[in-house]
């Protein structure tokens, strides 16, 4: 049995060097406990301004500064608890502490909700006057005017406070989903015809999914879906609760729909939203169907099943890499970004910002969490495959972005719209691909890198865009009063997959259950934004290749701007105009070019 299929370790068995160092957040559990209590006591540092922040520019500034200062502490407390739960969701102490933090966050949100309500009583003219009177308010300009734009959708001060107090309840669908995945859902092991037995978890399934062994791929897929199927009605009810929560809130806030409310939060128009979903699905489908047919032909498959889509096209060439080799390669590929960015990257890979090893209860997938004033933390499951190097480069992109934003902006100005959030991460993947191709004369390695690039586009332009399409359909149905059930979710998923893949892929019942696999559904209209970020980074990476330093400087300026600009303006700073379909069409055309190159590579081989 290979290392990839060994029994999963318990958290206590994982080497310390392969875990993230949460001591940078709090030296001890006791220090965290003390601060959890302290931030709740110190809420009066903010609430002392209740009823008076509109009286003068100084009162407004002092209140916003006080909230930022307390919010930084609250973020550290909540991040520590969240990361503990992510590293081991089966630990009852981690579960209990996450619940305590959830309660604290609800209280914090409720007790500070007066700030928005009192600001909304001001006119734009009064806010502008206050900014002129108190120069330090300039750094809050976007925050203030963004808030004023929401005035038609705000409730009374008392109603906002009551709604905020239910924050922990509002977060319950996601909490239940994650808790079930990490703590309750147990997958049986399965055997292949040679008698080998393989353990299965949420974190090991992607390894099997990408296996060159067709039997292993298909049996793991069948076993995985057999377990998912047992939970489908519960998960559908959980997701339906999340959807209905958004629908109800949108109605009481006088939005036309839940989609309108969620897009307003992203500062994205419906035209931008529909343009992203429609253009990619229409333009990309022919390229991906060619890709699927090529994969079927080269792998000698009688039929292309959904479980085969992530099979390696060149199974005999599966370059392995250690964590150290990968980090060296990534750092080399990112040198174009300059010394300040590189200092952050080097610290990330050497000072235990990253949690690498799988263990029982560890959250699936990969993410980067960026507490203000400390440093980002990255979670992934490393298995010595070169694909992991691209995942790591992706998460380091998030880390670099928020490190720079946090360095140049105050906490309330660090986070841009989700529409931009995936651009810095996919930029790093683009630079890694370009670097490997540039330094290699090996046709096979070039083909492998093209496949990895296609993997990135598949993840963002196929997986996530089709998740986005499902969300678009489900929110529309919910707005019309249609009950959201497991059957509805699976039927809609199968339908959209069938329309995208056509006759090139057999879409089975298990494919219809993929809505159960991703936490992004509980994060608003998040999935489609992956494609927006990759669209922007594709364009910007091409500019870096063509222009060099000026394009790099524009990109770094956009990263440092954090959340001080709306997404369209932010992308324009980076040199990308997302108000038209052109960047989307160019990005999709680039995917077509990659498929062309792949087909030529195999023609040459034959």
Q: What are the structural domains of the chain?
A: 3-170 (1.20.140.70)
Least confident of 193-207, 228-242, 291-305: 193-207
Tokens of 196: 């080998």
To 5 degrees, how large is the angle CA 486–CA 527–CA 95?
A: 70
Please, are residues 144 and 123 in contact by the beta-carbon 8 Å criterion?
A: no
**pLDDT exceeds cutoff 70 at 422:** yes
Residues 395, 21: Cα–Cα separation, whole Å: 17
Residues 17, 95: Cα–Cα separation, whole Å: 24
- Give 549-574 pLDDT, tens digit per residue: 999 999 999 999 999 999 999 999 99
Please give the torsion angle defined by the CA atoms of residues 27, 33, 35 and 38, in that order, rounded to the nearest 10 degrees: -160
- Give 136-158 pLDDT, tens digit per residue: 999 999 999 999 999 999 888 88
3-state secondary structure of 368: strand
Task: Please report the pLDDT score of residue 483 as a whole number.
Answer: 96
Q: What is the mean pLDDT of residues 119-129?
A: 95
Which runs of consecutive H residues, i.e. helices, occur in 120-150? 124-133, 141-149
Task: Please report the pLDDT score of residue 606 as a whole number.
Answer: 56
Which residues are CB-neighbours of 306 under 8 A, at least 6 positions away? 221, 497, 505, 506, 507, 508, 510, 511
Task: Please report the pLDDT score of residue 480 as a whole number.
Answer: 93
264: confidence class by pLDDT, cuts 50, 70, 90 = very high
To 5 degrees, how large is the angle CA 361–CA 166–CA 159?
A: 160
Task: Please report the pLDDT score of residue 1 as a whole number.
Answer: 33
- Give 2-37 pLDDT, tens digit per residue: 444 467 899 999 999 999 999 999 999 999 999 999
**pLDDT exceeds cutoff 80 at 604:** no
Q: What is the mean pLDDT of residues 307-324?
A: 87
Residues 515, 491: Cα–Cα separation, whole Å: 11
Q: What is the mean pLDDT of residues 221-250?
A: 96
Task: Please report the pLDDT score of residue 498 as a whole number.
Answer: 98
Residues 492, 243: Cα–Cα separation, whole Å: 15
Q: Which residue has the higher pLDDT, 515 or 445?
A: 515
Look up residue 107 and give its DSSP letter: H
Task: Please report the pLDDT score of residue 156 as a whole number.
Answer: 87
Task: Please report the pLDDT score of residue 35 as a whole number.
Answer: 98
* Global confidence as pTM: 0.83
As a whole number, the mean pLDDT across the chain is: 93
Q: What is the mean pLDDT of residues 271-289?
A: 96
Look up residue 331 and give its DSSP letter: H
**pLDDT exceeds cutoff 90 at 587:** yes
Residues 385, 377: Cα–Cα separation, whole Å: 21
């Amino acid at each position: 049995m290979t290392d990839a299929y060994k029994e999963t370790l318990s958290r206590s068995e994982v080497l310390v060097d392969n875990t993230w160092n949460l001591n940078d957040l709090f030296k001890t559990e006791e220090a965290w406990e003390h601060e959890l209590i302290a931030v709740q006591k110190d809420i009066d540092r903010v609430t002392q301004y209740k009823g008076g922040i509109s009286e003068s520019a100084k009162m407004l500034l002092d209140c916003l500064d006080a909230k930022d200062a307390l919010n930084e502490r609250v973020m550290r407390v909540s991040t520590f608890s969240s990361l503990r739960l992510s590293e081991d969701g089966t630990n009852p102490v981690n579960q209990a502490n996450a619940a305590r933090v959830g309660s604290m966050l609800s209280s914090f949100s409720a007790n500070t909700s007066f700030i928005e309500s009192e600001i909304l009583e001001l006119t734009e003219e009064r806010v502008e006057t206050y900014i002129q009177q108190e120069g330090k308010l300039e750094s809050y300009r976007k925050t203030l005017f963004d808030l004023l734009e929401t005035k038609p959708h705000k409730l009374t001060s008392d109603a906002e406070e009551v709604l905020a107090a239910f924050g922990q309840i509002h977060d319950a669908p996601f909490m239940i989903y994650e808790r079930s995945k990490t703590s309750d859902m147990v997958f049986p092991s399965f055997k292949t015809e040679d008698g080998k037995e393989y353990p299965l978890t949420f974190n090991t399934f992607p390894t099997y999914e990408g296996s060159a062994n067709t039997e292993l791929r298909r049996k793991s897929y069948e076993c995985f879906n057999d377990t998912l199927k047992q939970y489908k009605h519960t998960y559908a009810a959980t997701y339906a609760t999340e959807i209905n929560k958004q629908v109800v809130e949108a109605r009481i806030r006088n939005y036309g729909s839940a989609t309108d409310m969620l897009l307003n939060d992203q500062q994205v128009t419906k035209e931008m939203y529909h343009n992203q979903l429609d253009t990619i699905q229409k333009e990309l489908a022919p390229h991906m169907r060619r890709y699927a047919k090529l994969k079927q032909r080269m792998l000698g498959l009688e039929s292309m099943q959904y479980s085969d889509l992530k099979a390696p096209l060149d199974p005999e060439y599966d370059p392995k890499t250690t964590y150290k080799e990968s980090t060296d390669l990534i750092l080399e590929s990112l040198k174009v970004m300059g010394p300040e960015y590189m200092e952050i990257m080097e610290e990330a890979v050497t000072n235990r910002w990253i949690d690498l090893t799988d263990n029982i209860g560890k959250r699936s997938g990969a993410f980067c969490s960026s507490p203000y004033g400390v440093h980002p933390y990255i979670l992934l499951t490393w298995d010595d495959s070169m694909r992991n190097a691209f995942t790591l480069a992706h998460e380091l992109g998030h880390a670099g972005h928020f490190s720079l934003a946090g360095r140049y902006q105050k906490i309330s100005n660090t986070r841009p719209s989700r529409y931009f959030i995936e651009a810095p991460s996919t930029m790093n993947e683009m630079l890694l691909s370009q670097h490997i191709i540039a330094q290699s004369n090996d046709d096979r390695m070039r083909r492998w890198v093209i496949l990895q690039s296609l993997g990135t586009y598949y993840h963002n332009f196929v997986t996530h865009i089709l998740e986005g399409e499902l969300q678009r359909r489900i929110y529309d149905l919910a707005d019309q009063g249609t009950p959201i059930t497991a059957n509805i979710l699976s039927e809609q998923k199968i339908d959209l997959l069938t329309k995208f893949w056509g006759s090139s892929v057999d879409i089975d019942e298990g494919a219809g259950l993929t809505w159960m696999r991703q936490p992004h559904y509980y994060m608003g209209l998040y999935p489609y934004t992956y494609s927006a970020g990759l669209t922007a980074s594709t364009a910007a990476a091409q500019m870096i290749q063509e222009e060099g330093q000026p394009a790099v400087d524009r990109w770094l300026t956009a990263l440092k701007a954090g959340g001080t600009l709306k997404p369209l303006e932010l992308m324009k700073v980076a040199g990308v105009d997302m108000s038209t379909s052109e960047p989307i069409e160019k990005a999709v055309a680039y995917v077509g070019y990659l498929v062309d190159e792949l087909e030529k590579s195999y023609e040459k081989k034959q």
